[in-house]
Structure 1
Amino acid sequence: MPNLLYLNISMNQFNGNLNWNYSSLQNLQVFDAYDNNFTSLLPVGVASLTKLQYLDFGGNYFYGVIPASYGSLRSLEYLQLAGNDLRGRIPSELGNLSSLTELSLGYYNTFEGGIPSELGKLSSLVTLDLSKCSLDGVVPWHLGNLINLNTLYLHSNLLSGNIPSSIGNLTSLLYLDLSNNALTGEVPGELANLRELRLLNLFMNRLHGSLPEYLADMPNLETLGLFMNNFTGVIPEKLGYNGKIELLDLSSNKLTGIVPDSLCSSNKLRVLILFNNFLFGAIPESLGKCLSLSKVRLGQNYLNGSIPSGLLYLPKLYLLELQNNYLTGLLSESNNNTDSSSLLAQLNLSNNQLSGAIPSSISLLSYLQTMLLTDNHLEGAVPASIGQLHELVKLDLSRNLLTGSIPPEISNCSQLTYLDLSQNNLSGEIPPEISTIEILNYLNLSRNHLSQSIPKTIAGMKSLTSADFSFNDFSGRLPDTGQFSYFNASAFAGNPRLCGDILNNPCNFSAFSTTTGSTTTSTTSTATKHVPGDFKLVFALSLLVCSLIFAIAAIIKARAYKQGSNSSNKAGVWKLTTFQRVEFTISDVLDCMKDCNVIGRGGAGVVYIGRTPTGHEFAAKRLLGFNTSGHDHGFRAEVKTMANIRHRNIVRLLGFCSNSEMNVLVYEYMRNGSLGEVLHGKGGGFLGWDRRYRIAIEAGRGLCYLHHDCKPMIVHRDVKSNNILLDSEFEAHVADFGLAKLFLQDTGVSECMSAIAGSYGYIAPEYAYTLKVDEKSDVYSYGVVLLELITGRRPVGGFGDGVDIVQWAKRTTACNKDNVARIVDSRLSTLPIDEAMHVFFVAMLCVQENSVERPTMREVVQMLTEIHRHATLEQSPSSSSSSDHQKIDSHCYKLFPDLLT
């Protein structure tokens, strides 16, 4: 085909290689093979195409080095090799491409040896993008010779040293991004020459010194990102005077002084992020009139004064964070007729000194999902208008001075998953309407003056995984069924008139008389006074019956011990310890430990199925190697951890049997085995998407309980699909706590383990390299489980040497959730693709390399719950519209807002 000029095969599924005979294509000018699946070395024959002007091999799986012969393509104007798996050095011969106007080599390639200084000879170059390809060394001063350059992207590398002053020669530059490197020194004064600059990103480096005043004089600057450096001094007073600034992020520095009043001089400022500095003074009143604002984060400073009037009700604002300051004054009522169009979704004013009442106009924030007002001096009643916030997911009004009763209208917040009204002065009863909030999983009403009985309907809230009613004035019998059976007694402490089996406080005659209402109390007391003899007789007979029961129980227990002793004389007497009422005896446990009853084997022990005389099943785990070499194979850790846990999504430890040579843990039986066995077994295809999604949320809730509701915090350290067990209804339960570690929540630091523990393919990167473990290590492992559920594939094996499911998923999808169809389990006959895309989105958050950037398990559960709710609005999975897609995206970002910057 000697006359062929243009060859475009981009955005297909071609694979293999491009090692063609190019001798017949000598007139080719454009060769575009972008976004395919080619897996080979870059074709050397392309170098013979002397008339080639446009070459795009990006978005494939090419590996090896860039051929030095590509430097002979003197007519080439466009070269794109980004998004492959290229290695080695960037050849200096590319500096010979004198006609080149655009060069892009980054993103997933891994180069060594730094940026060749020869690239400074590309005098025609307009765009140079070498981002995210592991380049080290310094930024060559030779790049200052590229006087036609308007885009210079070197972000997300390992570059060090100072920013060369020669960059100031690039007077045509529009976009400069050197962020996420290890650059040091001060910002050079020569950058003041960049009068055309629209974007300047230097964030996540080690730069220091004052912010240059000339930043305020750049007439076209729209985006300024300098966060996570060591800048000191004040924010330039005239910053924003140019009327062009749209995004300003100076967070996590050491800036002092005040917030300039000029930042929104022409209503174009959209994003203002200044948190984690040493700023003081008042928030400028002008921000309350900045109609363009969509995101404001000023938390963790020393700001004082009141919140500007109108700031809460700005029409485009969806995120407002002012927490951890010294703000005072009232939360203003709204008097603007346009407030009904407010988009505010995240509001955090916690840990300030705000006073007065919560304004009733808060109901105008109809899109609000998170409202955090904890740790202030707010007083008055909880406004009933909060019930109009139908999108509210998290509400925290704790540690204030609120009075009055809990408004029953709060039950209208049907999307609420987190409600904390603790440490106030609330009184009255708990409105029973709260139990109608079907997805509420955290409820804290502790340390108030609430009274009457706790509504029995709350015990029936299946979603409720954590609750605290302690230190109130509750009375009456506490139901021992439903969710209450999963809570510790500490959740009800400080209520002396509460009774029930959960509290180990039987509801005797006198207890009933004091908790069933004033009329009953009076009547009972009077009756007792008139018939003291009858009462004493009844009391004596009761004691007699109890004594007989205890005597019979002692005889039965003694026989059980005797049977245990006879079955293992060498090992000594067996002892049974239980943590709740059980129907099995030591004999039942010992009798089940036969080969025919084995249901699982592992490195730490053998698991048997056992049955009680009444036919109920239990699982007995006999630990191997006990008392040999001083290693108990996780026995003490597992018992210590499990004995105090009650949660519907964590396997319950019923008790344990032990003698001098053996330990046996007894659990509730999970009929359908482990998720790993079901998902990766021959019949795993029957596990449909809805069931997989439900398992993901349930396992997430179990881990959320360990991380956020246990004191001290519990880190599992071995989260994997084989440790997620499925009961008869395929409900998920987190199991196997042999490696669990307890942490004091107040320390806020990770602990260093003596050796790597966990399972290959699930271990977080920081754990493997540093042996430091915290709850974010579990989050990473959970993200791997999410990928298993999406793909149906095991975490390791079948991806190539040294490649696990995380690397494979990232590479196959290019970390773009729109490409998730490439990795979904082929056994899933029907799949709501939008929902799968966003579960993948959450998984990618969980498996981020930097543990700090991973969400908490509470955030994960909220995101998954919200995604599912919105993704199922359409009757048919295939009929989801693009607007629904965007809505789900919006909810993800609002629940995890740091993703935006």
Structure 2
Amino acid sequence: MDRHWLLSPFNHFHLLFLFLYLFFSLATSLNRDGQILLRLRACLSDPNGVFASWDGANDTPCNWTGISCNPITSAVEAINLDNLNLSGDFPAMACQIPTLKNLSLGDNNLGNGISQRDISLCFRLHYLNLGYNIFSGPLPEFLPEFAELRWLNLSGCNFSGDIPASFGQFPRLQNLTLGNNLLNGTIPPFLTNLTDLIALEIGYNPFTPSPLPLEIGKLEKLQNLWVATANLIGKIPESIGKLGSLANLDLSGNMLTGSIPESIGGLKSVTQIELYDNQLSGFLPVSLGNLKSLKNFDVSFNNLSGKWPEEFARNSLVSINLYMNNLEGPIPEVLGLNTELENLVIYDNKFSGQLPANLGRNSNLVMLDVARNLLEGNLPPYLCRRNKLEILTITGNKFSGQLPESYSHCTSLIRVRIGDNPITGNIPSSFWGLPRVLFLDLSNMKLEGPISSDIAKARNLSHLNVSGNGFSGNLPESLCLLRELAKVDAGTNSFSGPLPYCLTQMRNLQRLNLTGNRFSGEIPASVGSWVSMVMLDLSNNSFSGSIPPELGYLLLLNYLDLSLNSFTGSIPEELGNLPLRFFNVSYNNLSGKVPKAFDDTGFLHSLIGNSHLCSPDLKPLPTCKRPGNIKQLWYLTAILVILAILAFSCVLCLYRKYRVRIHQRPGLQNHSSSPWRIIPFHRLSLKEDEILSSIDEANLIGSGGSGKVYKARLKCGEIVAVKRLFLTGKQDFDGGFQAEVETLGKIRHKNIVKLLCCLFKSDMKILVYEYMENGSLGALLHGSKGGELGWEKRLEIAVGSACGLAYLHHDCEPAVVHRDVKANNILLGGDYSARVADFGLAKLLPRRSCGDGSEMSSVAGSYGYIAPEYGYTLKVNEKSDIYSFGVMLLELVTGRQPIDSSFGENRDVVKWVNDAACSGALDEVHDSRFTSPTPLQKMQMENVLSLALLCTSPVPNSRPSMRRVLQVLKDVQWHPFNTAKGFSSHNIS
């Protein structure tokens, strides 16, 4: 180049201009990504203020929330806006950024459809995550240009229709996740063209019944195959054995038939096989013995037959589920050498022979359920050698001999069912007092001797069944120390003596069956304390004395059998108040007139065998003697009428004096003199002044948005809660007061707080409830005593609350939507029994509207509990309650409030736990106040968290019904290891 040209001033200016041009061009290029993102921001609704850091004044967007840039070029390469509560349409303009490789918008409220035109701009992406939004319509078609796409997640939305053919043309795709949608086409064979796939997850879709593609074995790199609950039919393809890299195989909850292919032995890397709940038949393949990495194996609830291959029993499995099949033959003895076995569940088969003698000797056995087989012989002595065994269920076999002494030292046991076996002898004293046992079933065996007083040490015991044995002696008074005891069945034994008087102090007792013994003496009059009693059977004993009228005040009692005893006196009229579905007092020495409630031919069989009972009309009972002649009857009637008039006059005078005194009370001078109206809903003896005098700040026990709550002790000794509603403007009888009265006034359920009565006049509304000694769940859980609320109590509270809500949703007509489900509206009795309370926002929902919901004029509820769709649709249905209940379940497990600053910016407990689930760190969200939780408790917590995350799904249709939620919680409580199969809206709805 001519050096004189470079020295020319004109050319110096030209070079400077060129430099400045390149500089500003580069600057403009760097800012272009930010300009695109600012346009994207304008298209999305951001209620949590996520985009506050997206400032147009910045040179680059690299420091903005959710944006990642290349460290050298500062070009945007990734956008991650997961779990930020964003709404709007799919923001296709993000893909105008030419350097963008990763786009993740999962767990938001993005909706409507995604067209091929929208998605076509994103052909440069490597990673696309749109899972768990509210998209609908068909899946988008992808152009061939998507050559670099490695990860595609479109799960948990409302996509329907077929999987497009273009989904079989991604040359580098490694992860395809389409589960939890509404896809209803067939499962296409072209998915087997995706030979780079590591994960194929298409489960929980209502596909048209179709088989698993025969050439599934082409996916040799596959590590996770998840096609659960997807309407699979036909056989498991033989080519399945070619998946040598597969770690997880889950084809559960389908309609697969035929046998498990022998080729399954080719899954050398598999750690989990889930084939439960299908229609598989044939034998367990011997080739299962080749699966040395396998830890969890579940083929339960199929039609499998044949024997358990010894080769397979040699594997070091952790969990084995073979229940509900037709398997037979012996359980291989070599199973006792397994050092890793924790769960063995094989109930409802035809296994025979003895349990392996060394079972439990070499491993931390936690759960053993072999119920309803043909097993026999002595029980293995080492089941609890490591003191880890929590669930022991062997009922319905032919085990004999005595209960091993070693079992009486198994302090880890929680649920024990040994009944229906010919086991003999005495039960060791220390076995009665195992400290953690909740459920103890020793029924229908050949046991004898007394119940030891050591049973007082079993402080958590709630169910005791010793019926059908030869137990004798008195019921020990130490039984009365078991405050959690709800069900006692000691029928058909040789117990004798009187009922322990202290037994009537057990307020939690729901079922007491003592039939077929030798009990004597009278029934204590204090039975009125059995407020939870549902079933009472004292038949076929030697009880005497009169039947206590106090039984008639047990409002939940619906089964009463006092037959075949020596009761005397009359049948109390009060028994007619009971909602009895079974009643029997036959074959006693009762006398007098049959009460009107039982004077019906339908009760005749319940009355026979009492020769001195009489009835005006009920034959063949003798006719009751009529009173004196007609003239005497007229005289008596006239006297009664005169007395009634005099009594009415006295009452009227007293009422007027009393009313004047009430209106002169200092605390109520500012209120109108209009008379009080009282509407009772339960039998209760109270007066206005008892209630009004309690409205004093000294008695205040709570205050909320609708009113203040006071504690009132009535003259009869009963304690009630008095709620005085706030009234502003026209919020009168048409507001929360009317909702609460109309709802609670008609409801009778043990898990819904009782509205005893209401008092109102023009300027004051008062509701009177049963008093709940332990206050609200929210106050207890998040207060100073929250650490004392152990996991078992929390789980019981969850079950009780779900019972109440399930009743509202499914058993009321019309259905009732609570609209303010939260921990502060769950009240706890002295025994921590749960009651749903505060129905001020409740709405009645006709059955035909349950799916669509009713539109509200404004959002109601409590911050942190409100379902996301409620905020923008203003439609409420039962799914809104289920979301709120899911939040409460998260509270019970984590001990955290729904909104907590420790979660980080713009996150609530739902997002916090979801993040932990995605990162596999659910253990870290457990309440730190739980000290050394057991494996069973950890499993229960994990199950409840999984259920809670389903309940809080952003897609309402993905949430289960409350009836199913209740069923799952009960399964978690009693069968946690069977429940731990994963949850979805399809398998628990």
Q: Give the alignment's TM-score, normalised by structure 1.
A: 0.66
Are 1:30 and 2:81 an aligned pair? no
Give the SS at the match of 1:403. Answer: strand
In the other structure, the counterpart of 2:193 is: 145
Give the SS at the match of 1:497. Answer: strand
Q: Distance in 1 between matches of 2:52 and 2:353?
A: 66
In the other structure, the counterpart of 2:137 is: 88
Q: Distance in 2 between matches of 1:806 and 1:382?
A: 47
In the other structure, the counterpart of 2:106 is: 58
Are 1:398 and 2:447 an aligned pair? no
Structure 1 residue 800, shift from structure 2 partner: 3.3
Q: Distance in 2 between matches of 1:302 and 1:561?
A: 74
CA contact (8 A) 2:87 2:109 kept: yes
Q: Distance in 2 between matches of 1:94 and 1:558?
A: 97
In the other structure, the counterpart of 1:778 is: none
Structure 1 residues 416, 147: CA separation in 2 closer, same or farther (over 3 Å shift)?
same
In the other structure, the counterpart of 1:424 is: 469
Q: Which stretches in structure 2 are left out of the alignment for 5+ residues?
A: 1-26, 62-73, 552-564, 570-626, 660-672, 690-713, 721-743, 758-765, 852-859, 902-924, 931-940, 952-958, 983-989
Structure 1 residues 362, 12: CA separation in 2 closer, same or farther (over 3 Å shift)?
farther
Are 1:493 and 2:566 an aligned pair? no
Structure 1 residue 471, shift from structure 2 partner: 2.2
Q: How do 1:115-130 residues align onto structure 2 when only pairs under 5 Å count?
A: 115-130=163-178
Are 1:365 and 2:405 an aligned pair? no
Structure 1 residues 325, 137: CA separation in 2 closer, same or farther (over 3 Å shift)?
same
Are 1:350 and 2:395 an aligned pair? yes
CA contact (8 A) 1:474 1:498 kept: no
In the other structure, the counterpart of 1:207 is: 256
Give the SS at the match of 1:176. Answer: strand
In the other structure, the counterpart of 1:805 is: 880
Structure 1 residue 190, shift from structure 2 partner: 2.6
Structure 1 residues 559, 346: CA separation in 2 closer, same or farther (over 3 Å shift)?
farther
1:552-579 per-position Cα deviation (integer Å, ceiling 9, x unaligned): xx99997999699999xxxxxxxxxxxx
Q: How do 1:375-524 residues align onto structure 2 when only pairs under 5 Å count?
A: 375-387=420-432, 389-481=434-526, 485-486=530-531, 487=533, 490-502=536-548
Structure 1 residues 609, 434: CA separation in 2 closer, same or farther (over 3 Å shift)?
closer
1:458-489 per-position Cα deviation (integer Å, ceiling 9, x unaligned): 22223323322232111223222156644478
Structure 1 residues 204, 116: CA separation in 2 closer, same or farther (over 3 Å shift)?
same
Q: Distance in 1 between matches of 2:831 and 2:454?
A: 35
Are 1:226 and 2:275 an aligned pair? yes
1:37-61 per-position Cα deviation (integer Å, ceiling 9, x unaligned): 2222232321211111111111222
Structure 1 residue 202, shift from structure 2 partner: 0.9
Structure 1 residue 69, shift from structure 2 partner: 3.3
Give the number of the structure with larger relative contact order, counting CA–CA contacts within 8 Å between residues 6 or more apart. Answer: 2
Structure 1 residue 297, shift from structure 2 partner: 1.2
CA contact (8 A) 1:374 1:400 kept: yes
Structure 1 residues 210, 373: CA separation in 2 closer, same or farther (over 3 Å shift)?
same
Q: Quick check: 357-366 or 686-695, which moved more?
A: 686-695
Q: Distance in 1 between matches of 2:974 and 2:400?
A: 30
Aligned with 1:300 (options 317, 332, 348) = 348
Structure 1 residue 497, shift from structure 2 partner: 3.1
Structure 1 residue 260, shift from structure 2 partner: 1.7
Structure 1 residues 46, 506: CA separation in 2 closer, same or farther (over 3 Å shift)?
same
1:394-418 per-position Cα deviation (integer Å, ceiling 9, x unaligned): 1111121211111222221122111
Structure 1 residue 432, shift from structure 2 partner: 1.3
Q: Which stretches in structure 1 are left out of the alignment for 5+ residues?
A: 510-549, 568-583, 620-637, 655-668, 709-713, 737-758, 770-786, 864-891
In the other structure, the counterpart of 2:736 is: none
CA contact (8 A) 1:174 1:199 kept: yes
Q: Give the alignment's TM-score, normalised by structure 2.
A: 0.61
Structure 1 residues 685, 313: CA separation in 2 closer, same or farther (over 3 Å shift)?
closer
Q: Which amino acid aligns with 1:54?
A: N
Are 1:169 and 2:218 an aligned pair? yes
Structure 1 residue 275, shift from structure 2 partner: 0.9
Q: Quick check: 457-466 or 397-406, which moved more?
A: 457-466
Structure 1 residues 434, 822: CA separation in 2 closer, same or farther (over 3 Å shift)?
closer
Give the SS at the match of 2:379. Answer: coil
Q: Distance in 2 between matches of 1:841 and 1:562?
A: 67
Q: Distance in 1 between matches of 2:228 and 2:236?
A: 13
Q: Distance in 1 between matches of 2:829 and 2:224?
A: 58
In the other structure, the counterpart of 2:855 is: none
In the other structure, the counterpart of 1:742 is: none
Q: Distance in 2 between matches of 1:457 and 1:221?
A: 57
Are 1:180 and 2:229 an aligned pair? yes
1:708-732 per-position Cα deviation (integer Å, ceiling 9, x unaligned): 9xxxxx9777787699998999997
CA contact (8 A) 1:598 1:609 kept: no
Q: Quick check: 840-849 or 118-127, which moved more?
A: 840-849
Structure 1 residue 200, shift from structure 2 partner: 1.5
In the other structure, the counterpart of 1:277 is: 325
Q: Which amino acid aligns with 2:768?
A: R
CA contact (8 A) 1:243 1:264 kept: no
State percent identity of aligned pairs: 21
Structure 1 residues 346, 201: CA separation in 2 closer, same or farther (over 3 Å shift)?
same
In the other structure, the counterpart of 2:979 is: 898
CA contact (8 A) 2:944 2:969 kept: no
Q: Which amino acid aligns with 1:459?
A: T
Q: Distance in 2 between matches of 1:138 and 1:794?
A: 33
**How many residue pairs are counted as aligned between the two chains?**
713
Q: Distance in 2 between matches of 1:437 and 1:475?
A: 23
Structure 1 residue 204, shift from structure 2 partner: 0.9
Q: Distance in 1 between matches of 2:639 and 2:308?
A: 75
Q: How do 1:356-755 residues align onto structure 2 when only pairs under 5 Å count?
A: 356-387=401-432, 389-481=434-526, 485-486=530-531, 487=533, 490-502=536-548, 596-598=675-677, 611=687, 671-672=768-769
Q: Distance in 2 between matches of 1:313 and 1:563?
A: 85
Give the SS at the match of 2:93. Answer: helix
Q: Distance in 2 between matches of 1:735 and 1:813?
A: 12
Q: Which amino acid aligns with 1:331?
A: L
Structure 1 residues 792, 816: CA separation in 2 closer, same or farther (over 3 Å shift)?
closer
Structure 1 residues 555, 100: CA separation in 2 closer, same or farther (over 3 Å shift)?
farther
Q: Which amino acid aligns with 2:960?
A: E
Structure 1 residues 793, 105: CA separation in 2 closer, same or farther (over 3 Å shift)?
closer
In the other structure, the counterpart of 1:256 is: 305
In the other structure, the counterpart of 2:118 is: 69
1:618-647 per-position Cα deviation (integer Å, ceiling 9, x unaligned): 99xxxxxxxxxxxxxxxxxx99998xx9x8
CA contact (8 A) 1:672 1:728 kept: no
